Amino acid sequence: MRYLITGGAGFIGSHVTEALLARGDSVAVLDDFSTGRRSNLAAVASHAKLRVVEGSVVDGALVRSMVAEADHVVHLAAAVGVRKIMSERVSGIRTNVEGSETVLAACAAHGRPLFFASTSEVYGKNAKVPFSEDDDSVLGASSLHRWSYACAKLLDEFLALAWFHESRLPVTVARFFNVTGPRQCPDYGMVLPRFCHAALAGSALEVHGTGNQSRCFLHVDDCVRAVLALVDTPVAVGQVVNIGSDEEVSIRGLAERVIALSNSGSTIHAVPYAAAFPEGGFEDMLRRVPDTRRLSRLTGWKREIDLDQTIRDALRWAREDNAAAAR
């Protein structure tokens, strides 16, 4: 099987690329390397069945030509991370809306099955927990730019499902919940790698707000298993499916576990949101917990890696990343 992975040099994309190559598939990666790293693909860089193309998902001609050569498309390319969304406001929206529209139209034109990555952000401020796929989206005001990412990805979902209903495009939409682990970069506000790098440096771990807000962190290896399971499950076509962990932890609790597992002497420093995001436009939600019963029912998937092991793997990678940067 020939796969096209947009964003295939990114954090999740590189792991999916490796997994597909390991099972014998051919992979073409399209990545603009704005956040993806060539080093993420170092282990498979010389693989005979891998082709890496530097380019953007908003390049319609390039996307159409690569989709035409694929049997299946995995669309992971997106502008992600709170810091990036807040600092690159126009380009972030453009990438997430125009890029997705380009990929969807190309897949529809060539009849290619599509796995479409969305986000738990689309649930917004909904207070009903856990979030199930048919729950309401409750987004904040447009004056708070933080919600632009959720709005853009929700629009993408509407468009993907519209293509499915009008043109029978075989598309599956997956909502990722706080996927983390090796290769996730701390640069754009990703909390676990940020905590790991701080703990290893003996620096204070900055917790925004009270730290009582909670999340469920899923190891990237468990995420990849879910992605491949959905790709291989025809009955998932036309559905929206959560991918996440059921192990909930407060952000302060996460910081405490990182410090303990790294044997660090670091302290925890609470930073008000106004100080963390002085440009304004940010708002947080108290809890984000997925209901993954649909995923389990469709594919038999279950989470295998607990939070402590996820933290250990993230710490190991942070050490390796620091060592590579020092060379």
Q: Is the pLDDT of residue 83 over 70?
A: no
Average pLDDT in the 52-70 region? Answer: 97
The CA distance from 179 to 190, in Å, is: 10
Express each pLDDT in 201-252 by its tens digit: 999 999 999 999 999 999 999 999 999 999 999 999 999 999 999 999 999 9
Q: Is the pLDDT of residue 82 over 90?
A: no
Q: Which amino acid is at 146?
A: R
Tell me which of 3, 149, 188, 273 is the catalytic residue.
Answer: 149
Measured at the alpha carbon of residue 213, what is the angle toward residues 211 and 214, in degrees to the nearest 5? 115
85-99, 145-159, 179-193: segment of lowest average pLDDT: 85-99
- Cis amide prior to 186 (ω within 30 degrees): no
Gyration radius of the chain over CA positions: 19
Sorting pLDDT into bands at 50, 70 and 90, what band is 81? low
Residue 63 φ/ψ region, left for φ over 0, alpha for ψ in the -120 to 50 degree band, beta for the rest = alpha
Output the average pLDDT for the chain.
Answer: 94
Sorting pLDDT into bands at 50, 70 and 90, what band is 187? confident
Answer yes or no: are the C-beta atoms of 115 and 100 closer than 8 Å. no
Write the DSSP assignment of 109-160 as a string of letters. HHT--EEEEEEGGGGBT---SSB-TTSPPB---TTSGGGHHHHHHHHHHHHH
Chain centroid to CA 251 = 18
Closest CA to 86 of 284, 218, 232: 284
Q: Which amino acid is at 44?
A: V
Average pLDDT in the 131-149 region? Answer: 92
Express each pLDDT in 85-123 by its tens digit: 666 777 778 888 999 999 999 999 999 999 999 999 999
Q: Which pLDDT score is estimated for 256?
A: 98
CATH class entry, domain 2-178+220-245+289-304: alpha beta
Q: Give catalytic status of residue 3 as yes or no.
A: no
Closest CA to 268 of 280, 254, 247: 254
Q: Which pLDDT score is estimated for 146?
A: 81
With residues binned 3-state (H G I as helix, E B as strand, rest as coil), the percentages for the chain, rounded to 5, are 45, 20, 35
Average pLDDT in the 164-173 region? Answer: 96
Express each pLDDT in 257-303 by its tens digit: 999 999 999 999 999 988 877 766 677 889 999 999 999 999 999 99
The CA distance from 169 to 112, in Å, is: 7
Closest CA to 33 of 49, 52, 50, 61: 52
Average pLDDT in the 62-74 region? Answer: 98
